[in-house]
């Protein structure tokens, strides 16, 4: 959410951001509604002020035993309270409408963001690692996982329907190893490990920006104000709602784990093979709450990205980083980089990490503030990035490290979390 005063005084910049982000919001209509709210607010406040003045006059008239005048004032008072009783519900309704419109206003993208329509317009900015060349017919992740008895999709689909899966054997151990590996590396950097609820209330989804627009991606628990989170980002944002932190408490640096649930609405027929795009997965998330300073936000953005690069390099996976374009980045982002790992079977890079910074767009929605060094209360800045999301990361991991004999080499960095195992071999 942007500050109303900012929208009033930077209307063209906000309209341009909406245009660049394919966001259909009508800023003129929002400002017209805002003017109605402001004028109606003034009317109600004036009426209340007159009421106060009148009550003094009534007391004065009573003291002077001037019954005539006193009754006159009381009649005026009645008229005023009638008028207020009629205006207040309308004011409340218009304020709610304005708030709902405000939630749809996008953030202003950083000038370094490429202008584009969708992911095809994202701009690669870095490549790392040698793509493997296979002297044998390389298999895709699903064939490999089946041969190595690492997955059971049929029975999972029987239980949970489409886009479900079970990880078996080495894949089950790899997933937990990867979660531990990510937790370990980031905890060593001083990030606070946290395992957060995967069920959260409506306000948490409003806070991170998932609601109202992304509501169709979220599973709802019938009859309760509870929804399944698609990322720990929702729960951590919600945790700090309405809090005023102390400057010395910042920055808060979390490495958060949660199961993630996504409806994947609108992706029918996309990535249906294997475990690339599923309804439930596990993710270790990096999350930062820092002071309201653009340079500080950018520093954390760079650190979160570097952290993810270190993990991927330790897993010895070729990858690239793309600067996500305005049409693909979503409403809340100021800047966004995706990290895409090389998937040999598809002969292309696929997204495995997404790193974003928001300035105070999320903080305004969740009302997360801090008292700065001068004692001024301000909204914080928030950022997040994937550390490891599995099973998607298993796809490049297994494919890139497959061997001629059908085994899969486990990268050195992961072996301590796999009981020292070095290869996954067919039985």
Judged by the rule CB under 6 A, the positions of this chain that interact with ligand SSA are: 231, 233, 262, 264, 277-278, 281, 283, 285, 351-354, 384-386, 389, 392
d(C-alpha 107, C-alpha 121), whole Å: 19
- Cβ(145)–Cβ(273) below 8 Å: no
User: Over the range 281-309, which residues count as b (16 or more CB within 10 Å of their CB) and which as e?
Assistant: bbbbbbbbbbbbeeebbbebbebbbebbb
Q: Based on CB atoms, which residue is closest to ligand SSA, 310 or 351?
A: 351
Q: Is 185 one of the catalytic residues?
A: no
CB of 410 to ligand SSA, least distance (A): 20
Q: Is 354 one of the catalytic residues?
A: yes
Q: Based on CB atoms, which residue is closest to ligand SSA, 58 or 317?
A: 317
CB of 182 to ligand SSA, least distance (A): 11
CB of 201 to ligand SSA, least distance (A): 18
Q: Is 427 one of the catalytic residues?
A: no
- Of 233, 258, 392, 399, the active-site residue reads 392
CB of 391 to ligand SSA, least distance (A): 7
Q: Is 351 one of the catalytic residues?
A: yes
Residue 57 has which token pair? Answer: 């006059």
d(C-alpha 176, C-alpha 240), whole Å: 28
**For residue 283, which phi and psi values (nearest 5 degrees)?**
-145, 140
Residue 76 has which token pair? Answer: 């005026």
CB of 314 to ligand SSA, least distance (A): 17
**DSSP 8-state secondary structure symbol assigned to residue 197:** -
Helices 294-314 and 169-188, interaxial angle, to 10°?
140
- Of 163, 173, 185, 262, the active-site residue reads 262
d(C-alpha 11, C-alpha 148), whole Å: 58
Q: Based on CB atoms, which residue is closest to ligand SSA, 23 or 382?
A: 382
- Of 8, 36, 98, 277, the active-site residue reads 277
Q: Based on CB atoms, which residue is closest to ligand SSA, 80 or 177?
A: 177
**For residue 160, which phi and psi values (nearest 5 degrees)?**
-125, 0
Q: Based on CB atoms, which residue is closest to ligand SSA, 34 or 340?
A: 340
What residues act catalytically? 262, 277, 351, 354, 392
């Amino acid at each position: 959410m942007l500050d109303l005063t900012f929208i009033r005084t930077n209307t063209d910049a906000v309209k341009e951001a909406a245009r660049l982000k394919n966001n259909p919001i009508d800023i003129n209509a929002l400002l017209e509604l805002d003017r109605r709210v402001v004028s109606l607010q003034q009317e109600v406040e004036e009426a209340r002020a007159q009421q106060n003045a009148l009550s003094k006059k009534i007391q004065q008239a009573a003291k002077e035993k001037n019954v005539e005048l006193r009754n006159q004032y009381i009649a005026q008072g009645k008229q005023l309270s009638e008028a207020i009783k009629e205006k207040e519900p309308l004011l409340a309704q218009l304020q709610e409408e304005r708030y709902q419109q405000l939630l749809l206003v996008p953030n202003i993208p950083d000038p370094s963001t490429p202008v584009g329509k969708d992911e095809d317009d994202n701009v690669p900015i870095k490549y790392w690692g040698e793509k493997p060349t296979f002297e044998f017919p390389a298999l895709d992740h699903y064939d490999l996982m089946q041969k190595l008895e690492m997955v059971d999709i049929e029975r999972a689909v029987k239980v949970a329907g489409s886009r479900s899966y079970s990880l078996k054997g080495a894949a089950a151990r790899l997933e937990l190893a990867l979660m531990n590996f990510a937790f370990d590396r980031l905890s060593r950097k001083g990030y606070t490990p946290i395992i957060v609820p995967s069920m959260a209330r409506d306000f948490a989804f409003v806070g991170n920006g998932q609601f109202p627009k992304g509501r169709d991606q979220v599973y709802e628990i019938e009859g309760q104000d509870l929804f399944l989170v698609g990322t720990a980002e929702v729960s951590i944002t919600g945790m700090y709602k309405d809090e005023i932190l102390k400057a010395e408490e910042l920055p808060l640096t979390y490495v958060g784990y949660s199961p993630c649930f996504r409806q994947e609405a609108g992706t029918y027929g996309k990535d249906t093979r294997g475990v690339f795009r599923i309804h439930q997965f596990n993710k270790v998330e990096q999350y930062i709450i820092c002071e309201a300073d653009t340079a500080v936000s950018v520093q954390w953005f760079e650190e979160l990205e570097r952290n993810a690069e270190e993990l991927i390099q330790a897993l010895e996976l070729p990858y690239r980083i793309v600067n996500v374009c305005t049409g693909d980045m979503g409403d809340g982002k100021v800047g966004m980089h995706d990290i895409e790992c090389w998937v040999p079977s598809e002969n292309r890079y696929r997204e495995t990490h997404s790193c974003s910074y928001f300035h105070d767009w999320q903080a305004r929605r969740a009302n997360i503030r801090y008292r700065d060094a001068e004692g001024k209360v301000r909204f914080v800045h928030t950022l997040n990035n994937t550390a490891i999301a599995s099973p998607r990361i298993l796809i490049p991991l297994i494919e890139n490290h497959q061997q001629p004999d059908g085994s899969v080499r486990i990268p050195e960095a992961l072996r301590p979390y796999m009981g020292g195992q070095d290869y996954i071999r067919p039985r």
